[in-house]
Amino acid sequence: MTAEEFRRHGHALVDWVADYWDRVETLPVLSQVSPGEIRRRLPAHPPSLGEDFESVLSDLDSIILPGITHWQSPNFFAYFPANTSGPSVLGELVSAGLGVQGMLWSTSPACTELETHVLDWMAEMTGLPETFRSTGAGGGVLQDSASSAALCAMVAAREKATGGASNRSGCDGRLTAYASTEAHSSLHKAAGIAGIGRENHRLLPTDGALRLDPCALREAVRADRAAGLRPFFVTATVGTTSTNAMDPLAAVGEVCRSEGLWLHVDGAMSGSAAICPEFRIHLQGIEYADSYCFNPHKWLFTNFDCDCFFVADRAALIHSLSILPEYLRNQATESGAVLDYRDWQVPLGRRFRALKLWFVIRHYGVEGLRTLVRHHVDLARRFAGWVRESEDFELVVEPPLNLVCFRHRGGDEANQAILDRVNGEGSLYLTHTKVGGALTLRLSVGQTRTELRHVESAWAAIREAGRAIRRPRG
Ligand SMILES: *Cc1c(COP(=O)(O)O)cnc(C)c1O
């Protein structure tokens, strides 16, 4: 592709994305295709000769779009948001154009230094303790996902607990880790990958508000110690995936401190809310954390993938993941004056992710980002108010931020029917969870373009579906 052709197609594609965002709210949110349908529309064999770029673009519309679930629709209320924005996509474009590998400082100094700088900004923007900044003993790094952050945290903690032995000879099967039953599955998975063993990752009971119970944690740790095991790692979640429950960080942190355990705090979605001082209440006790992560790719207008991962002691992380084969030796690294982010993550290669975050922060400014987050929380609270006042529906838990868990009073079948109906109509997309065994509907507000009118229409559609199930069939 010549530079001229790239310019032409590139401009057309930017228009395509802008048009897509303009019209996405008119498309059925949940893709309605059946399994195999998209593949059947694709040619069985790759083209042996190059094709017109125009025909590629036209297939984008005719083949690919029908198979898209529209995460960027303002009517997307499922799971958690994965929002994006103009500055983010443009930052991604530059990153792709530069195509740098940021594994070492020397392989692109700006890639490393912008990342360090933006992570320090993030720590400041969200009110994190000084220990998480690069100017102290810790620092931040961008990971692809909260799952990777959890794995790196667990490996660093494992190494610390065994004085480096687990990196040489493996684990002895006696290390144990802890989280609540509501913690994200990525922690359980990390325990498997890190050689701790899923069986040794204890899922502890929660209190009435679905929060990790610090007393249960202390008891489990002591019982394991008494049985000759070696407790080493605890995860506390700020905003669980299922119901947005907030584990009590300070109380959990006290247990970790007195028992000598690594505390990892997972704030995947809700961590973004901490850019607003009034929502930092959920991070009270974060100073106990050895590591912490949250995902701007969920709720900070930065497209996937972008997870901010902070550690209080970077030496522990680097020791556990560092490698230095001859072909990567260089003066900057030997001098010790630079950070090499390949030592802060599982893969060697890494992309220039900080660009899109930098674009986003500079475009909106901290105040602009706060306004957007507050708007989402306000919309969720209004919705919760409508549920509270309705006769047919009830709140399952009080929403702390932007996720509303609610249900029809008619039981699981009624709620399943409502879910099927609204998702089948395509005008919005909701998902569910189970709370105390009961099917619960979740409305998660966080899409970049979601306005009051979208939440109002969602409520109207949900109520209508609720009425429809009460009407006798006939
Ligand atoms: C979404 C979520 C994750 C997983 O995030 P990825 O970045 O997709 O790995 C982990 N923890 C919590 C609490 C989440 O909500």
Distance of CA 461 to the CA centre of its chain: 28
pLDDT at 57 over 80: yes
Read off the tokens for 416. Answer: 């399943």
Q: What is the pLDDT of residue 451?
A: 98
CB 448 within 8 A of CB 85: yes
**Average pLDDT, whole number, for the chain?**
96
Residues 180 and 157: their CA atoms lie apart, in Å, by 18
Domain ranges (residues) in the chain: 1-30+69-83+365-474, 34-67, 100-351
CB 252 within 8 A of CB 212: yes
Q: Which residues pair with 230 in a beta bridge?
A: 175
CB 392 within 8 A of CB 466: yes
Domain 100-351 CATH class label: alpha beta
Establish how many alpha carbons lie within 13 A of residue 337's alpha carbon, considering only the half-sphere containing its beta carbon: 6
| Pocket of ligand 1, beta carbon within 6 A | 80, 145-147, 184, 186, 237, 240-241, 266, 268-269, 295, 307
pTM over 0.85: yes
Of 30-34, 213-217, 357-361, 362-366, the least confident:
30-34
Residue nearest to atom 1 of ligand 1 (CA): 268
Residue nearest to atom 15 of ligand 1 (CA): 241
In what helix (H) or strand (E) does residue 464 lie, and over which residues does it extend? helix 452-470
Residues 283 and 265: their CA atoms lie apart, in Å, by 9
Over residues 19-27, the mean pLDDT reads 96
pLDDT at 261 over 50: yes
CA 268 to ligand 1 center in whole angstroms: 5
Q: Give me the residue label for tokens 């990777």.
A: 148
CB 266 within 8 A of CB 241: no
Q: What percent of the chain has pLDDT over 90?
A: 93
For domain 1-30+69-83+365-474, give the CATH number.
3.90.1150.10
Tens-digit pLDDT profile for residues 183-238: 999 999 999 999 999 999 999 999 999 999 999 999 999 999 999 999 999 999 99
Question: Distances from the Cα of 389 to the Cαs of 141, 272, 385, 392, in angstroms?
Answer: 44, 29, 6, 9
Tens-digit pLDDT profile for residues 124-182: 999 999 999 999 899 999 999 999 999 999 999 999 999 999 998 888 889 999 999 99
CA 184 to ligand 1 center in whole angstroms: 7
User: What ligand 1 atom has the least distance to the C-alpha of 147?
Assistant: 9
Over residues 275-303, the mean pLDDT reads 98
Q: What is the pLDDT of residue 437?
A: 94
Q: What is the pLDDT of residue 323?
A: 84
CA 341 to ligand 1 center in whole angstroms: 22
User: What ligand 1 atom has the least distance to the C-alpha of 297?
Assistant: 7
What is the amino acid identity at position 85?
A: S
Ligand 1 mutation pick, 266, 270, 403, 431, max ligand atoms within 8 A of CB: 266
Which has the closest alpha carbon to 129: 297, 247, 4, 250? 250
Residues 268 and 264: their CA atoms lie apart, in Å, by 12
Residues 423 and 443: their CA atoms lie apart, in Å, by 12
Residue nearest to atom 12 of ligand 1 (CA): 268
Over residues 234-256, the mean pLDDT reads 98
Which has the closest alpha carbon to 348: 101, 96, 98, 97? 101
Read off the tokens for 243. Answer: 């119901």
Ligand 1 mutation pick, 181, 187, 246, 269, max ligand atoms within 8 A of CB: 269
In what helix (H) or strand (E) does residue 431 lie, and over which residues does it extend? strand 431-435
Tens-digit pLDDT profile for residues 425-455: 899 999 999 999 999 999 999 999 999 999 9
Which has the closest alpha carbon to 352: 85, 108, 88? 108
